[in-house]
Amino acid sequence: MTDSAAQITDQRPRIVIVGAGFGGLACAKELGGAPARVTVVDRRNYHLFVPLLYQVATAALSPADIARPIRRILSKDANIDVVMGEVTGFDSAARQVKLRDGGVLPYDKLIVATGSEYSYFGHPEWAPFAPGPLTLEDARRIRARLLTAFERAETCGDPAERSALMTVVVVGGGPTGVEMAGAVAELTRHALARDFRHIDPRVAHIYLIEAGPRLLPTFPDSLAQYARTALEKLGVMVTTGEAVETIDAAGVVVAGRRIAAGTVVWGAGVKASPAGRWLGLETDRAGRIAVNPDLSVAGLPGVFVLGDSASLKEGDAVLPALAQVAAQQGTHLGRALAAQLRTGQPLPPFKFHNRGNTAIVGRNAAVFDFGWAQLKGRIAWMLWALIHVYLLVGFDNRIRVAIQWFWLYITYQRGARLIMSDSGPDAAGPRAAETR
């Protein structure tokens, strides 16, 4: 029988999963071996461990350490096809996923897990000057800008311009901003410290700017205060209660004050992918689609939304945009659909189990909030490292990252300090033109 003839006679339902991030991949794994033809479509050919992107941006890890080919991960499941393609919309009436190359993927059940993108609070013009660590390309661009600014500073004869080039501004005091600021401080204070002859990277100015009243707004106050003190010990200048008003090639303006900076990093806000628009659905202010307790979408039979793109209320609050929420939802839905296909049982509601919310400030300094208990300092940091190594997909990635972290811990050295020419046309970063 030819492939197309086999497809016509194959009566198994077609399940299309859009996005092989934390939610989509967990769902696909549960559907391996289920009586269904499953297609996983993603615009990239690898699954990315987003929470460690800031370590690529600050030269602690290499891109390959935190990414793994989707085909490889799902290679054992004969009923799962992987398609690399960018989804541009859905035709709910015809039950088809539309791809940028003009192709379509028919479905009986559709699972949307397309995650988030950065939101510049109505200022898309800031994006080129302040990339955030959301993709590997972004992380490499930040790394290139950061390292190029110090290279320029080394040969710069003008003290004001040199100081500006050695200034890094991180916008946003949530976990991403805190982790970025801490990692940049460790990079400049230790790894870069001995490598330059004409500048002293240890005196680099690192600002963390948060518009709200305190850092880490989703963590208890005591942990936020600990993070602030730990960052200040590393030499980070933390500003709260002041919003960034402008970001341009010369740096930022905060509460009317200009900070000339060679590198600006965005960690302030994300919004959901445009899946709501594609499905013609109302979304909340963060762009998320409201889902039923079983993750289905009201009015669209056979359509489910997971992870950062979904808005699911538990009690009074919407579940946060976290990898653990997305992964648990993916596992739950994949298992429930596989069971339904085998036995016809209805889909049970999803229940989130909080495994702890965490942010790392630097070596031996992290915070962990389990809801019922809090941890901070070295123990939290060790727990963070153990959990993140465990969660990395693939045995080889785990070993590599564990070795690199151990090496970093004993030597303070960051091996991935490469400025790649393909990090984008603006890899060299904005020129700092004005002084503080």
Ligand X SMILES: Cc1cc2nc3c(=O)[nH]c(=O)nc-3n(C[C@H](O)[C@H](O)[C@H](O)COP(=O)(O)OP(=O)(O)OC[C@H]3O[C@@H](n4cnc5c(N)ncnc54)[C@H](O)[C@@H]3O)c2cc1C
Q: Does 53 bind ligand X (CB under 6 A)?
A: yes
Q: Does 436 bind ligand X (CB under 6 A)?
A: no
- Burial zone of 366 (CB within 10 Å; 0-12 exposed, 13-18 middle, 19+ buried): buried
C-beta of 104 vs 433, nearer to ligand X = 104
The residue number with the shortest CB distance to ligand X is 21
Phi/psi region, residue 371 (left: phi>0; alpha: psi -120 to 50; beta: rest), is left
Task: Give least dist CB 307 to ligand X, A.
Answer: 2
Neighbour tally for 51: CB within 10 Å = 23
C-beta of 340 vs 354, nearer to ligand X = 354
Q: Does 131 bind ligand X (CB under 6 A)?
A: no
Sign of the Cα pseudo-torsion (116, 125, 100, 42, in order): negative
Binding to ligand X (CB under 6 A) within 54-93 occurs at: 54, 86-87
Q: Does 51 bind ligand X (CB under 6 A)?
A: yes
- From the list 32, 43, 389, 415, which residue makes contact with ligand X (rule: CB under 6 A)? 43
Binding to ligand X (CB under 6 A) within 258-297 occurs at: 273
C-beta of 20 vs 28, nearer to ligand X = 20
C-beta of 39 vs 239, nearer to ligand X = 39
Cα Rg of the chain, angstroms: 23
Give how far the C-alpha of residue 43 lies from the chain's centroid of Cα atoms, to the nearest Å: 15
Q: Does 24 bind ligand X (CB under 6 A)?
A: yes
Kindly state the tokens that stand for 222. Answer: 């005591």
Judging by DSSP bridges, how do beta strands 87-91 and 96-99 pair with one another?
Answer: antiparallel
Q: Does 114 bind ligand X (CB under 6 A)?
A: yes
All residues at 6 or more sequence positions from 2 whose CB lies less than 8 Å from its CB, including other chains: none
- From the list 13, 44, 225, 286, which residue makes contact with ligand X (rule: CB under 6 A)? 44
C-beta of 251 vs 267, nearer to ligand X = 267
Q: Are 279 and 92 in contact (CB under 8 A)?
A: yes
Q: Does 321 bind ligand X (CB under 6 A)?
A: yes
Q: Which stretch, 13-21, 156-164, 226-234, 288-296, contacts ligand X (CB under 6 A)?
A: 13-21
Note the residue count of the chain. Answer: 436
Binding to ligand X (CB under 6 A) within 142-181 occurs at: 175-176
- What's the 3-state SS for 230-248? HHHHCCEEEEECCCEEEEE
Q: Are 312 and 319 in contact (CB under 8 A)?
A: yes
C-beta of 323 vs 432, nearer to ligand X = 323
Enumerate the H helices of 85-130 as residue ranges: none
Q: Does 50 bind ligand X (CB under 6 A)?
A: yes
List 362's β-bridge partners, or say none. Answer: 365
Q: Are 392 and 404 in contact (CB under 8 A)?
A: no
Angle (CA) 35 39 44, round 5°: 150
Task: Give least dist CB 345 to ligand X, A.
Answer: 25
- From the list 167, 188, 324, 331, which residue makes contact with ligand X (rule: CB under 6 A)? 324
Task: Give least dist CB 237 to ligand X, A.
Answer: 21
Task: Give least dist CB 309 to ligand X, A.
Answer: 6
- From the list 14, 16, 21, 165, which residue makes contact with ligand X (rule: CB under 6 A)? 21
Mind telling me the catalytic residues? 179
C-beta of 87 vs 204, nearer to ligand X = 87
Q: Does 334 bind ligand X (CB under 6 A)?
A: no
Separation CA 314–CA 322 (nearest Å)? 15
- From the list 133, 251, 262, 430, which residue makes contact with ligand X (rule: CB under 6 A)? 133
All residues at 6 or more sequence positions from 7 whose CB lies less than 8 Å from its CB, including other chains: none
Sign of the Cα pseudo-torsion (412, 418, 424, 430, in order): positive
Q: Does 97 bind ligand X (CB under 6 A)?
A: no
Separation CA 301–CA 209 (nearest Å)? 44
- From the list 308, 311, 376, 400, which residue makes contact with ligand X (rule: CB under 6 A)? 308
Residues that bind ligand X (CB under 6 A): 18-24, 41-44, 50-51, 53-54, 86-87, 113-115, 133-134, 175-176, 273, 307-309, 321-324, 326
